């Protein structure tokens, strides 16, 4: 992906967006641990462990296990940042409508080898966020917008010990790895599928069992 010119990348995204359109048309204090049953809290939103499991099950069921995030922390990262990612993508000139999000999700399960059926609404919303992340990664080589979003998460989000701690640098390194993978695999219009395992969470500085 890095080898592509910015104009070529923009044309690729524009083509993907156009094709999709034609197909359909109260939080805890930062630094404190989240409540039991809560994976993370950020921007007046709470992501529960049950919701994380629901997202995982949507991947398992909708792709018949062919395309599933390799770690729980990737799901938490994407779901927690989703609203900010979608808004930032729109501000960058790439709004993602409901119809387009559905189309991207259908493309993804077809890419995974599922020839019939439609994805669940849960998967559609997750794919919308992942596509937004992918767009921001390829149109801004310096990843400045993603850095700003990630830094705000690092500064203000609250995570359970099980979820870990958020690191902006870990997140950006993961995004760069996804970009490199997309380029090496020549994914073309399916470039956004390379971002399913992007993660910004790391092990806590001290084991949770040692915390007071």
pLDDT in tens, 62-78: 999 999 999 999 999 99
pLDDT tier at 23, thresholds 50, 70, 90: very low
pLDDT tier at 124, thresholds 50, 70, 90: very high
Average pLDDT in the 73-95 region?
97
Cα angle 71-140-108, degrees, rounded to a multiple of 5: 45
Average pLDDT in the 131-141 region?
96
C-alpha span between 13 and 20 (Å, rounded): 11
Collapsing DSSP states into helix, strand and coil, what is residue 14? helix
Average pLDDT in the 174-190 region?
95
Collapsing DSSP states into helix, strand and coil, what is residue 166? strand
At residue 22, the pLDDT reads 38
CA 33 to chain centre: 23
Residue 25 has pLDDT above 50, yes or no: no
Q: What is the number of residues in the chain?
A: 212
C-alpha span between 111 and 105 (Å, rounded): 10
- Cβ proximity of 92 and 116 under 8 Å: no
Mean residue pLDDT across the chain: 86
Q: Please provide residue 117's backbone torsions phi and psi, each rounded to the nearest 5 degrees.
A: 90, 165
The token duo for 47 is 């992501």
Of residues 2 and 38, more confidently modeled = 38
DSSP string, 25-69: ---PPTTSPPPTTEEEEETTEEEEHHHHHHHHHHHHHHTTTSS--
pLDDT tier at 16, thresholds 50, 70, 90: low
Of residues 194 and 3, more confidently modeled = 194
Residue 34 has pLDDT above 80, yes or no: no
Q: What is the reported pTM?
A: 0.82
């Amino acid at each position: 992906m890095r080898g592509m010119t910015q104009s070529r990348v923009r044309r690729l995204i524009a083509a993907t967006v156009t094709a999709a359109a034609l197909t359909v048309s109260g939080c805890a204090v930062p630094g404190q641990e989240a409540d039991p049953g809560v994976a993370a809290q950020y921007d007046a939103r709470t992501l529960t462990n049950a919701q994380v499991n629901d997202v995982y099950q949507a991947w398992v069921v909708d792709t018949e296990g062919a395309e599933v995030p390799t770690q729980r922390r990737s799901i938490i990262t994407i779901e927690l940042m989703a609203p900010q990612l979608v808004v930032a993508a729109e501000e960058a000139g790439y709004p993602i409508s409901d119809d387009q999000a559905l189309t991207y999700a259908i493309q993804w399960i077809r890419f995974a080898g599922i020839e019939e059926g439609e994805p669940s609404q849960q998967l559609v919303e997750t794919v919308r966020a992942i596509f937004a992340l992918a767009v921001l990664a390829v149109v801004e080589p310096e990843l400045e917008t993603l850095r700003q979003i990630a830094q705000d998460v690092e500064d203000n989000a609250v995570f359970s010990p099980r979820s870990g701690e958020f690191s902006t640098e870990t997140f950006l390194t993961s995004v760069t790895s996804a970009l490199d993978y997309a380029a090496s695999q020549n994914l073309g219009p399916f470039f956004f599928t390379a971002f399913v395992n992007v993660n910004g969470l790391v092990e806590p500085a001290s084991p949770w069992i040692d915390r007071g």
